[in-house]
Amino acid sequence: MSVFLHAIETAVPPHVYPQSVIRDVMKAQPELDRLGQRIIGTIFNASGIDQRHSAIGEFNWAADEPAGVFYDPATRRMLKPGTGARNAFYIVEASKLFVQAARQVMAAASPSIQPGDITHVVTVSCTGFFAPGPDYAVVRALGLRPDVQRFHVGFMGCYAAFPALKMAKAFCEADRDAVVLVVSAELCTIHMHASNDPDTLIASSVFADGAAAALVSARRPSPGTPVLRMDHFETTLTPAGVGEADMAWTIGDLGYDMVLSTYVPSIIETHISGALVPLLAHDPELADAPHSQIEHWAIHPGGRSILDKVESALNLSAEQLKPSREVLREYGNMSSATVLFILHSLLHSAHDHERVCAMAFGPGLTVESGLLTKLSGLD
């Protein structure tokens, strides 16, 4: 039985910052020593990012406005709210994004899929916690049935959309009448802070806020309606001891401490071909073929150098990595939501029967991958 991504929609908070603005804010922080001052420009300027969205509007405030939660415009100092204050901000602002993305994807799928059709809601986030959680907020805001089954994928990092999609696919394979709403929302920027540590500076240069939602079902799409058939998914860990400390999140007193080591691109370059073996083994035509034979690639853009290494290691063309680079350039790294932005683009740009290989990397170092096929309805 085939299962399909029937619709994907994205949402971002209203505040958008050129990369140069955040770079200059960070550079003005007195915590930075000479080394930090010297490398911060290089890190931000080489990120491949033009702009990022944030739920925080304070970096645009005029100098005569009072200090906010995260920033004092008069002194240009980044403030240091505790983890509780950051999470309180997350509860309000992330809830808005979860609901906005969910409403948009329901509108995109209407009239084929209605609120009363939803049987499962799976929410995804690693940048905050609360209960009743975003799954509850979505059910209430959209007027879904009270018996909808709810699940939350939390704190798994940038690859977390894949476990959510795999759950949705399994629900639909177990019950052909299931219709699953998957919603991911991340507020990475609420944990940004000044530091002299190069790994922390790299994280501050790439992470952004955003949300995306998808509808998954085994229903046959109407002729002419674009869908992505969800063919296969796989999970792979790099060898023990490799990458475990290079990509990680921990909860600190001043928010979440994000680590994105300079070694991550090289680790991915070394292990990405092997990580694809179990996924491509499902399709004999692809198992022994050059990777470039797969027309489209949705690679989570953890950073520009990661995309560079993937392109080189798999011998892909610049065109095949263009959707990933464009999302990085326009939105930055929105953690778990990011790959759905790329799939949204490919849902509407790929041609019928072309294949899509999606990949994301996260704490562990974990590699999640999926193989999909673009279709425009079924005869």
What is the block-wise mean pLDDT of the chain (379 residues), using blocks of 10 residues?
97 98 94 87 94 97 94 95 98 98 97 96 97 98 98 95 98 97 98 88 94 97 92 89 74 86 84 93 94 97 94 97 98 98 97 97 91 84
The predicted pLDDT at position 365 comes to 85
Query: Tokens for 258?
Result: 């994000």
- Strand-pair partners of 184: 124, 212
- Strand-pair partners of 214: 8, 182
Measure Cα distances from 137 to 47, 133, 190 in Å: 35, 6, 21
Query: Would you give the DSSP letter of residue 13?
Result: -
The predicted pLDDT at position 264 comes to 86
The predicted pLDDT at position 47 comes to 94
Task: Tell me the domains of the chain and their CATH numbers.
Answer: 226-376 (3.40.47.10)
End-to-end CA distance of the chain: 16
In the chain, the DSSP E strands lie at 4-11, 15-18, 51-54, 71-72, 77-78, 120-125, 149-154, 179-187, 209-217, 226-237, 247-252, 255-260, 296-299, 355-362, 366-376
Catalytic residues: 158
The torsion angle over the Cα atoms of residues 313, 237, 162 and 43, rounded to 10 degrees, is: -50
- Sign of the C-alpha dihedral computed for residues 172, 286, 323 and 204 taken in this order: positive
Q: Which of 165, 158, 164, 342 is nearest to 264 (CA)?
A: 158
The predicted pLDDT at position 243 comes to 65
What is the number of other CB atoms lying within 10 angstroms of the CB of residue 224?
7
Beta carbons within 8 Å of 31's beta carbon, 6+ residues apart: 194, 195, 196
Report the alpha-carbon distance of residue 26 to residue 341 in Å, rounded: 27
Q: Which of 30, 13, 361 is nearest to 190 (CA)?
A: 13
What percent of the chain has pLDDT above 70? 98
What percent of the chain has pLDDT above 90? 82
Contact 236, 216 (CB under 8 A): no
The predicted pLDDT at position 267 comes to 86
Express each pLDDT in 85-138 by its tens digit: 999 999 999 999 999 999 999 999 999 999 999 999 999 999 999 999 999 999
What backbone phi and psi angles, to 5 degrees, belong to 320?
-70, -25
